[in-house]
Structure 1
Amino acid sequence: MSYRVEERADQQRHEATATVLAIEGDRVRMRYQRTDAAAEPTEQVMTTALNNVVNGSDGSRYEPHLDQLRFPLQVGQAWTTEAASTAASGAQSRLSIDRKVVAIETVRVSAGEFTAYRVESKGWINGVNWRGAAMRLEQVLWYAPEPGRIVKLESRVWRNNDPFRHTVIEALGFQSN
């Protein structure tokens, strides 16, 4: 699958591909590669329910996995994600995120038009990554049962009430081997 990643706060845009390498039990190992960089590809690990264990873009590891989705999805369903994160640098943080499936709606992205569950999230990231400063997170993702993927994700992060990051990721296409 390929995605467009737009870092709106930095006015940067790039594309990335995630290629499945292996499915081992409830884990999916993927190679994550930015198409605009000469950097080596990194490994991303997700559960078969599309929840991050290792983030391919920055190497962060989550324990337990970052619970973005809980299947079967139903409008009105809500849960809280609690996880510890260890960055590739060794810096640690804790995440507490409230999530809710708020609607089924049509979303249009470069890969096409999809009927998708809209999942809204709000929470906090606390830890040494930011010298003790808490970061507020708001995220909306759209999960489409067909093709069984997150087709769009918009995330905003504030540090000390100042905008820190605004990222929009959308699917460009899917390929099966």
Structure 2
Amino acid sequence: MQTTLRVNHRTVAAALLLGSCLSALAAEAPRAEMPPPASIKPGNYFEFTTSEASMGGCRRWNVKELTSDGMLVSQCKDLLIYQSVANSLNITKMVKTDGEVQYEFKPFMPTMIYPLEVGSKWSGEYAGFTEDTGDKWKSKAQCEAVAFEKVKVVAGEFDAFRIECVDNWRAMMVFSGEKKSTRWYAPKLGTVVKVVHDDPKWNYQLTAYKLD
């Protein structure tokens, strides 16, 4: 009986210690707010590994402008990416400078939300189009910030929120499916530094950056 009691006491002590550690880690996880417009400066840039789908095969994206209608525009060569300031900087489209659409999400692809903290859950519906394949689809994305952890990418190691999303899509009334993706958002940089997608053509990670 005494041995059993000792084991139980140790188990309880270990559980209490683990609970204390988890509480401490939870307390350290920040609440991320959207980067203020004043911090979005032309000339700053983010450079990524080559991703034909996400980045059009272009690597260095320079902050171009914040438009009067609330779009953050970044440019790489003849490509422009638009992010909606009113909708947590989610991407709405990538177009060429001549206006040719490369991909578009209406009203936006809901893979990010502010404020962001571990346990945040959100969802949203959108219509998508990609020029390279001509695909058109409608989708409902559901995302959750499941952890705050360190992530290593080419550009370095960052504290980041791990966001897991499930995209339930349908096309032409007869085709449907599910795509899963994981992205790591680094509050220090105000951007996603890594994406791992079921479809590898959407994968990328940060390789360099400049922030003034």
TM-score normalised per structure 1:
0.76
The answer to whether the aligner puts 1:143 opposite 2:188 as a matched pair is no
Shift in Å, 1:85: 1.7
- Counterpart residue number, 1:161: none
The answer to whether the aligner puts 1:52 opposite 2:91 as a matched pair is yes
Count of aligned residue pairs for this structure pair: 155
- Counterpart residue number, 2:67: 24
Is the Cα contact below 8 Å between 1:78 and 1:99 reproduced in 2? yes
- Counterpart residue number, 1:174: 209
Shift in Å, 1:47: 2.1
Q: Aligned residues: percent identity?
A: 21
**Partner Cα distance (2:62, 2:174) in 1:** 35
Shift in Å, 1:74: 1.3
* Stretch of structure 1 that moved more, 83-92 or 137-146: 83-92
- Counterpart residue number, 2:80: 43
Shift in Å, 1:176: 3.6
**CA offsets per residue over residues 32-61 of structure 1, 9 Å max, x none?**
35xxxxxxx221101233311103697211
- Counterpart residue number, 1:96: 140
**CA offsets per residue over residues 103-135 of structure 1, 9 Å max, x none?**
00000111111000110001222224xx95324
Higher strand share: 1
CA RMSD of aligned residues (A): 2.5
Structure with bigger gyration radius = 2
The answer to whether the aligner puts 1:124 opposite 2:168 as a matched pair is yes
**Partner Cα distance (2:149, 2:182) in 1:** 13
TM-score normalised per structure 2:
0.64
**Partner Cα distance (2:165, 2:192) in 1:** 14
